[in-house]
Amino acid sequence: MNRKEFLKSLAFLPLAACNMKVQDFPKVTESLPNTPKMPVLFVGHGSPMNALEDNAFTRSLKKLGEQFKQEGKKPAAILVVSAHWLTRGSHVNIAPKPETIHDFGGFPQALFDAQYPAPGSPELAKETAKLSALIHETDDWGLDHGAWTILMHLFPEADVPVFQLSIDYYQPLQYHLDLAKQLTALREKGVLIIGSGNIVHNLRLSMERLRTGDTRPYDWAVEFDTWAHEKIAGRDFQSLVTYEKAGEAGKLSVPTTDHYIPMLYSLGLAGEKEEIKQAYEEVTLGGISMRTFQVG
């Protein structure tokens, strides 16, 4: 089943119960050394071609990676929640050597040849599974392009272990915001957590506009991206969970929630008084928001 067929099939399936089971975080992670609290990122990853391109967006990622090193915040490991790993149930990848997954088509051969040979982090991945009864271990994944295309700029040396947490696409949006809160302890164990998606992601209408040669953002894309930015700045995360109430702009900007959900993980990890800093802002290809922000 391809990605498009998978997304369609979900519309006919019932939602599983969203039953959170909170465990004792300190006990679960006490065997791991404490570190200063790591920041959290949400990255609007956009086209896979960003892996190879030098543009304002990729330069902003390079700048973020350099800042982490300068501030002594180079992570012990990186956990990515990507729009491109959708599953039934929440799964964490414990593979010691995750492969670079080229989960796309129609791009230059150079992109298919690209590799991001970062090691996995089985120990931290297994600790992550212990944080919630909802998270299950698997080694049946690698690094999809929601992860490696941005990490090539953030940490080009590929010397930081990386593992991924899947998106349970059968759950309501509140599930993801709540599950993220159970991962907070990882931030004090040297783990940089990254949500990788796009707040506005209407690929169909973007391709329609691209075929005409018109690269101007749609009005509805700018409207919803601005609305989301205001809700993030005002820490009104519940409005982001019920984004449909934003009207037609919300419906057009989020035709499916796969690229929207990673943002909720990044926000769910935010402390009550933590600063949320905008790192990049752009609406590209008419209907893709590249908005990127940092928590902490």
Q: pLDDT of 77-101, one tens digit each?
A: 999 999 999 999 999 999 999 999 9
Q: Given its phi and psi angles, is residue 33 left (phi above 0), alpha (psi -120 to 50 degrees) or beta?
A: beta
Residue ranges per domain, the chain?
A: 24-199+261-280
Which class for 184: exposed (0-12), middle (13-18), buried (19 or more C-beta within 10 A)?
middle
**206, 286 Cβ separation under 8 angstroms:** yes
Q: In this model, does residue 111 exceed pLDDT 60?
A: yes
Q: In this model, does residue 12 exceed pLDDT 70?
A: no
The H or E element that residue 240 is part of is: helix 237-241
Sign of CA dihedral 41, 44, 49, 50: negative
For the segment(s) 24-199+261-280, the CATH number from 3.40.830.10, 3.90.1150.10, 3.40.50.10420, 3.40.50.620 is: 3.40.830.10
**141, 184 Cβ separation under 8 angstroms:** no
Distance CA 180, CA 231 (A): 18
What band does 8 get if pLDDT is binned at 50, 70 and 90?
Answer: very low
Distance CA 68, CA 66 (A): 5
What band does 35 get if pLDDT is binned at 50, 70 and 90?
Answer: confident
Tell me what pLDDT residue 233 has: 97
Closest CA to 269 of 293, 286, 242, 251: 293
The pLDDT tens digits for 154-177 are: 999 999 999 999 999 999 999 999
The pLDDT tens digits for 217-245 are: 999 999 999 999 999 999 999 999 999 99
Stretch among 35-39, 108-112, 156-160 having the lowest mean pLDDT: 35-39
Does the pTM of the predicted model rise above 0.75? yes
